[in-house]
A and B are shown apart, each in its own frame.
Chain A
């Protein structure tokens, strides 16, 4: 089924496409002059941080924009047609037939009241005029193609009866049903766990090679890009800033944004050093731009960067860059010697006794039923977990979703009434303490949550947020002392003093996470449970938070229980690792031991599934 096409003539050509969205606060332009070319049989990865317009680009190509959005300018050439001007009826003939798309959230992208078979069949009815038995046969073969086990029964299943991975496979079957020439995959594996993600990416790669179709893969994960893409297009603030082959992109990224992005990635070789952060944040897209959109954050900024907007130009063969720099830049002065301070991160040795000792921790949630709503069965979220937290060190609790790692964190803080087992804090058993006696220990341990948007009360001013813990737990008796402490805390986390009387919604995600850290620090805890503190953040912001956490640990001697699924962060930050699987810890030890010489098969499987960036060239 290979389509033999001249690789030099793109099957999809996008020229200067602009998309505008009307909002309450005026018009924004999430896509602002995008040029792309997609060749038959290749995978082009469209990469960028959240809000850079990559998903909106995909929807623009499909002409599936929300009602408040419209294509303001540009041309899209595909199959001899110009898609922007094409009548809707003709566009419908292309959609699903020649360009298909799969979406990020398989749970919401499938119609909940129709069976999988009916939803896939609909495409075949529409485009291939299949009916009856032949239709069903075709759907079955598609389900086999995407590796859904037991297709005979699954064809009549409703989406809610399938797991997340199977739902996404069904979604792929739906997209591939009419054998399209182009598949647009919008973060196809982001909603899935890392092992499922690896399987799904393998499947997509196989299908793409077998069918010879072109794939536009939209992702924020450079690891996925390294695994999947032939070519890479990097997006920033609504524009493409660099297009290159995968090898060229990863070995010597040209655009300063790309370089700084790589520098911000946490990896083992940066362990013990500060990650290089990208200062500032992504500019809002509701403003007119004059110069280069990255100029303000650029480490190689030149005098006229803020005045003249650079064009996307071919700097070498198959490499396009939107930057005034002609050659791959050298590290800017003053940045390269970024301290190798504290090169040995493993300085804090284990003390005589651990700060926290957890023994046989069990959390079973009841599933109630029956007349009196007695528990009928139990969800064994945590099933006998024991570990130690050593003073001044970081223990990473690693596992996939549903493994019970967050439950462990909440149980240690005594935030779950269902928890059983022993928790020793400084040799005191705290798991049975009444709330009055518990108050003394509430001061000693605090928590930082994953979602910076849900962890701060939107109706409280930042100053009040920071004061709350102090008043509740009686830290600093005088209001003057407290006000002083608030100022010091904001200083510590690098937030301006004026924040005191502002509300959380005025801050970006990264800033909110800093405020959340300040709130936890307000009561001077010894232990902080960090529940996926960076997984909702973009790479550049993640680096800032990781630097801050590491810095605070060294200055204040904090102990972290770092709950995460991101193994790169673990490699960079953690001293000890415990791997959780189905409510139990299957393996624990020092980071080096667990991550580099895994013993348990599950740990090995997990590590193998993580998409990694091949280190083809030395990169800082």
Chain B
């Protein structure tokens, strides 16, 4: 049975909107030009491919269902647990939990365990893991096995890449301005890294397991969806507020401007974290006192995520509004606005037809720029305790759970390292892409030398 969580619905809605926008850009050369400038930069192409890979994971993880328990009986029963398409694709990651910590690619437990001996005595030994490397008769063969499996994965990746590449190659010439070759190379590097990991993950915990024995790779993959949801859904709130209020303030001026400026000065004056904390606390009270509204844990966690996105949007729209107010102030003195007035064109029409298209580049730039900030903010907020629901897997909750593990002896470093790598790659590509978008849409702002 399909389950559509609130955030799922909105994420897919955003996807559809994005596709519509892409189509809208494709039909018109004029709208295509800035994007062509963006994708003529090598760093932008690489970043976009990486982001797309993350988006693919996130989208797969946004298709939720409840498994059918019995197919025989007339009345169908469904599991109470909500799973996603990602879980279905990678069942081994979700199901094969160890007892507790195990190091990456380990075959034995990380800490000694007490086992009863036949003679009644006890010994503390490293025991074999339940799943990690369990297929090996001789655990000392682990490195040979790992190299073999990784090698097989690598060969599979390269073969697949080459075969598809023969076909893709003909596209290069068709779109000379866009660095398609770079995109294809990035895909190659990505698959050369990911496919071996995937091959290994069926028999090992590639990034180890955490305190309760969950596969860290699985947790990291699940975190991607949370990050993407926060990075994109917050814009759903921010966009209409920022665009409408910012443009109205700049266009009408006078008392409208005063009211809107007062509104955003007031909102801005409350330190962001505190406003979010206060709102999240209040929402927590509301959820706790109205348990009947939220039947499953997944729905409760999802709603909390949605609320967090909305609050982040509410606190973030002021920046966009201020930017658009300034730009609209400048634009509305321009001659073409005067000319529209001379035709008696109505205010809504001037805002929509003349002003909005001319500030759109700023909207796109600030949306892309905000994404990485939102992803980073989630980590801090979850650490403070006002982020996502503790039951939601996210980079923030993972860091929060792992930060004390650095102090353990011997040190448990792999959960933190995995989060670090995943977040770094995501945020870095978001930042690089944002820079490229800014350069492409607003060449005047170009500062960084292009490579």
B408 proximal to A (CB < 8 A) = no
Q: Which residue of B lies closest to A523 (CB)?
A: B343
Q: Tell which of A24, A415, A449, A519 touches B341, judged by Cβ atoms closer than 8 Å.
A: A415
Q: Is the CB of A455 within 8 A of B344?
A: no
Q: Is the CB of B344 within 8 A of A454?
A: no
Q: Is the CB of A442 within 8 A of B343?
A: yes
0/1 string, B333-347, CB within 8 A of A gives 1: 011101111111110
Chain B proximity of A500: nearest CB distance (Å): 14
Q: Is the CB of A415 within 8 A of B353?
A: no
Chain B proximity of A356: nearest CB distance (Å): 15
0/1 string, B27-43, CB within 8 A of A gives 1: 00010000001000000
Chain B proximity of A476: nearest CB distance (Å): 14
A426 proximal to B (CB < 8 A) = no
A460 proximal to B (CB < 8 A) = yes
Q: Is the CB of A413 within 8 A of B342?
A: yes
Q: Which residue of B lies closest to A410 (CB)?
A: B338
Q: Which residues of A contact B357 (CB under 8 A)?
A: 457, 459-460
Q: Tell which of B37, B336, B341, B349 touches A454, judged by Cβ atoms closer than 8 Å.
A: B336
Q: Is the CB of B336 within 8 A of A457?
A: yes
CB contacts under 8 Å to A, within B322-341, are 334-336, 338-341
Q: Which residue of B lies closest to A469 (CB)?
A: B343
Q: Is the CB of B338 within 8 A of A415?
A: yes
Q: Tell which of A439, A455, A459 touches B339, judged by Cβ atoms closer than 8 Å.
A: A455
**What total of chain A residues lie within 8 Å of the partner, measured CB to CB?**
29
Q: Which residue of B lies closest to A449 (CB)?
A: B335
A446 proximal to B (CB < 8 A) = yes
Given A454-B334, A459-B358; A24-B443 close (CB under 8 Å)? yes
Q: Which of B338, B340, B343 has the most CB of A within 10 A?
A: B343
0/1 string, A448-486, CB within 8 A of B gives 1: 011100111111100000001100110000000000000
Q: Is the CB of A454 within 8 A of B335?
A: yes
| In the bound complex, CA of A459 to CA of B34 (Å) | 13
Q: Which residues of B contact A455 (CB under 8 A)?
A: 334-336, 339
B403 proximal to A (CB < 8 A) = no
Chain A proximity of B251: nearest CB distance (Å): 14
Q: Is the CB of B343 within 8 A of A451?
A: no
| In the bound complex, CA of A472 to CA of B342 (Å) | 10
Chain B proximity of A163: nearest CB distance (Å): 23
Q: Is the CB of A442 within 8 A of B30?
A: no
Q: Which residues of A contact B344 (CB under 8 A)?
A: 435, 438-439, 442, 472-473
CB contacts under 8 Å to A, within B36-83, are 37
Q: Which residues of A contact B343 (CB under 8 A)?
A: 442, 468-469, 472-473, 523
Q: Which residues of A contact B335 (CB under 8 A)?
A: 449-451, 454-455
Q: Which residue of B lies closest to A502 (CB)?
A: B30
A233 proximal to B (CB < 8 A) = no
B354 proximal to A (CB < 8 A) = yes
| In the bound complex, CA of A24 to CA of B177 (Å) | 12
| In the bound complex, CA of A429 to CA of B340 (Å) | 23
Q: Which residues of A contact B443 (CB under 8 A)?
A: 24
A447 proximal to B (CB < 8 A) = yes
Chain A proximity of B438: nearest CB distance (Å): 15
Chain B proximity of A451: nearest CB distance (Å): 6
Chain B proximity of A503: nearest CB distance (Å): 5
Chain B proximity of A162: nearest CB distance (Å): 26
0/1 string, B350-369, CB within 8 A of A gives 1: 00011001100000000000
| In the bound complex, CA of A450 to CA of B30 (Å) | 25
Q: Which residue of A lies closest to B338 (CB)?
A: A415
| In the bound complex, CA of A451 to CA of B339 (Å) | 12
Q: Which residues of B contact A435 (CB under 8 A)?
A: 344
Q: Which residues of A contact B340 (CB under 8 A)?
A: 468, 472
CB contacts under 8 Å to B, within A543-561, are none
Q: Is the CB of A456 within 8 A of B338?
A: no
Q: Tell which of A24, A446, A454, A457 touches B342, judged by Cβ atoms closer than 8 Å.
A: A446
| In the bound complex, CA of A24 to CA of B344 (Å) | 40
Q: Is the CB of B345 within 8 A of A472?
A: yes
| In the bound complex, CA of A446 to CA of B344 (Å) | 11
Q: Which residue of B lies closest to A435 (CB)?
A: B344
Given A24-B443, A503-B30; A456-B336 close (CB under 8 Å)? yes
Chain B proximity of A518: nearest CB distance (Å): 12
Q: Which residues of A contact B37 (CB under 8 A)?
A: 24
Q: Is the CB of A457 within 8 A of B358?
A: yes
Q: Which residues of B contact A439 (CB under 8 A)?
A: 344
| In the bound complex, CA of A472 to CA of B443 (Å) | 34
Chain A proximity of B334: nearest CB distance (Å): 5
| In the bound complex, CA of A438 to CA of B357 (Å) | 28
Q: Which residues of A contact B353 (CB under 8 A)?
A: 457, 460, 468
| In the bound complex, CA of A413 to CA of B354 (Å) | 20
| In the bound complex, CA of A472 to CA of B354 (Å) | 14
Given A458-B358, A460-B353; A449-B345 close (CB under 8 Å)? no
Q: Which of B30, B37, B335, B357 has the most CB of A within 10 A?
A: B335
Q: Which residue of B lies closest to A464 (CB)?
A: B353
Q: Which residues of B contact A472 (CB under 8 A)?
A: 340, 343-346, 349
Q: Tell which of B341, B346, B349, B354 touches A457, judged by Cβ atoms closer than 8 Å.
A: B354
Q: Which residues of A contact B349 (CB under 8 A)?
A: 472
Chain A proximity of B248: nearest CB distance (Å): 18
| In the bound complex, CA of A473 to CA of B345 (Å) | 8
Given A24-B443, A435-B344, A457-B358; A447-B30 close (CB under 8 Å)? no
0/1 string, B92-103, CB within 8 A of A gives 1: 000000000000
Q: Which residues of B contact A519 (CB under 8 A)?
A: 339
| In the bound complex, CA of A439 to CA of B342 (Å) | 9
Q: Which residue of B lies closest to A505 (CB)?
A: B30
Chain B proximity of A381: nearest CB distance (Å): 15
Chain A proximity of B261: nearest CB distance (Å): 12
Q: Which residues of A contact B336 (CB under 8 A)?
A: 454-457
Chain B proximity of A317: nearest CB distance (Å): 49
Chain B proximity of A464: nearest CB distance (Å): 8
Q: Which residues of B contact A451 (CB under 8 A)?
A: 335
| In the bound complex, CA of A435 to CA of B344 (Å) | 8
Chain B proximity of A529: nearest CB distance (Å): 9
Chain A proximity of B222: nearest CB distance (Å): 42
Q: Which residues of A contact B341 (CB under 8 A)?
A: 415
Q: Is the CB of B358 within 8 A of A447?
A: no
A-B contacts, 30 of them at CB < 8 A, read A24-B37, A410-B338, A413-B342, A415-B338, A415-B342, A438-B344, A442-B343, A446-B342, A447-B338, A447-B339, A449-B335, A451-B335, A454-B336, A455-B334, A455-B336, A456-B336, A457-B354, A457-B358, A459-B354, A459-B357, A459-B358, A460-B357, A468-B353, A472-B340, A472-B343, A472-B345, A473-B344, A503-B30, A516-B339, A523-B343
Given contacts A473-B344, A519-B339, 8 further A-B contacts (CB under 8 A): A24-B37, A410-B338, A413-B342, A449-B339, A459-B357, A459-B358, A468-B340, A472-B346
By a beta-carbon cutoff of 8 Å, the part of chain A in contact with chain B is 24, 410, 413, 415, 435, 438-439, 442, 445-447, 449-451, 454-460, 468-469, 472-473, 503, 516, 519, 523
By a beta-carbon cutoff of 8 Å, the part of chain B in contact with chain A is 30, 37, 334-336, 338-346, 349, 353-354, 357-358, 443
- Please provide the 5 A-B residue pairs with the shortest distance between their CB atoms, ordered closest to farther: A459-B357, A455-B335, A449-B335, A469-B343, A442-B344
